[in-house]
Amino acid sequence: MSDTPTPPPAPHAGEPHRPGAAARLNWLRAGVLGANDGIVSTAGLVVGVAGATSARGPILTAGVAGLVAGAVSMALGEYVSVSSQRDSERATLAREATELAEDPEAELEELVGLYRAKGLTPTTARLVAEELTAHDVFAAHVDAELGIDPDELTNPLHAAISSAASFTIGALLPLLAIVLAPPSVRIPATFALVILALALTGSVSARLGGARSGRAVARLVIGGALAMAVTYAVGTALGTTVGL
């Protein structure tokens, strides 16, 4: 009989199996959603201004202003949100460390109870809890009780930069389309590019989330089309009223 230990089973294809894989997937999904925001909000803005005036200067000015304002707003919002989440997680981790130091026996019993609740027998649950506690008591408890990896806390600055970058990339598409296209095809060219971009990001977002792409694409395309139609109508009506 061989003394060679049996290797752990390989993870199934498509499943995250490395530390941080799920977090990276969430970041990628958030980046796609940020790009969607940039596409739709900037497209609505520049198409609305184009409905009021055919002059390239006001359209470019409005588009750049919208891009910068949107990117800054996204970055600030993400920074505040992630900072609050990180502060909460750090406080929770500190509280858990204190509880482990003050009453390790009660914490061990709590860990046993958690594994029993997952379906393990009392004997197996205690064996698992004791072995994990002996290996790394803090890691065992924060994983089972809190679902937090102390080494994978989100960085607020990274989140802010990522959010601003994804919004900017998305916003550049309609902005460049409407500025570079000839005036005679400016609106339809921008409309077509935005619809294609939203269909692509919707498909990518659905794949990342493991959902069907049809509904996701339809929602984004219809929403983007409505946003541009409404802002164009408002811009046209306002341009006619004020004589732009």
Share of the chain above pLDDT 70, in %: 86
DSSP H helices in the chain: 21-52, 56-102, 104-117, 122-141, 156-180, 186-209, 213-242
Q: Are 39 and 173 spatial neighbours (Cβ–Cβ below 8 Å)?
A: yes
What is the pLDDT, as a whole number, of residue 22? Answer: 54
| SS3 (DSSP) at 152 | helix
What is the pLDDT, as a whole number, of residue 23? Answer: 56
* pLDDT of 3 higher than 70: no
Report if residue 244 sits inside a domain. no
User: Which residue range is the domain that position 65 belongs to?
Assistant: 35-239
Q: Which of the four pLDDT bands, split at 50, 70 and 90, describes residue 241?
A: low
Residue 18 backbone phi and psi in degrees, to 5? -110, 150
Q: Could you tell me which of 190, 187, 164 has the C-alpha nearest to residue 175?
A: 190
Task: Provide the domain count of the chain.
Answer: 1
What is the pLDDT, as a whole number, of residue 106? Answer: 86
What b/e readout covers 77-92, taking b as 16+ CB neighbours within 10 angstroms? ebbeebbeeeeebeee
Residue 181: DSSP 8-state: S
What is the pLDDT, as a whole number, of residue 67? Answer: 96
Report if residue 104 sits inside a domain. yes
* pLDDT of 59 higher than 60: yes
Report if residue 173 sits inside a domain. yes
Q: Which of the four pLDDT bands, split at 50, 70 and 90, describes residue 89?
A: confident
Summarised one tens digit per residue, pLDDT across range 142-189 is: 887 777 777 777 788 888 898 899 999 999 999 999 999 998 899 999
Q: Which of the four pLDDT bands, split at 50, 70 and 90, describes residue 39?
A: very high
Residues 244, 234: Cα–Cα separation, whole Å: 13
Q: How far apart are the first and last CA of the chain?
A: 89
What is the pLDDT, as a whole number, of residue 60? Answer: 94
What does the mean pLDDT of the chain come to? 83
Report if residue 202 sits inside a domain. yes
- Residue 162 C-alpha from the chain's centroid: 9
Summarised one tens digit per residue, pLDDT across range 191-204 is: 999 999 999 988 88
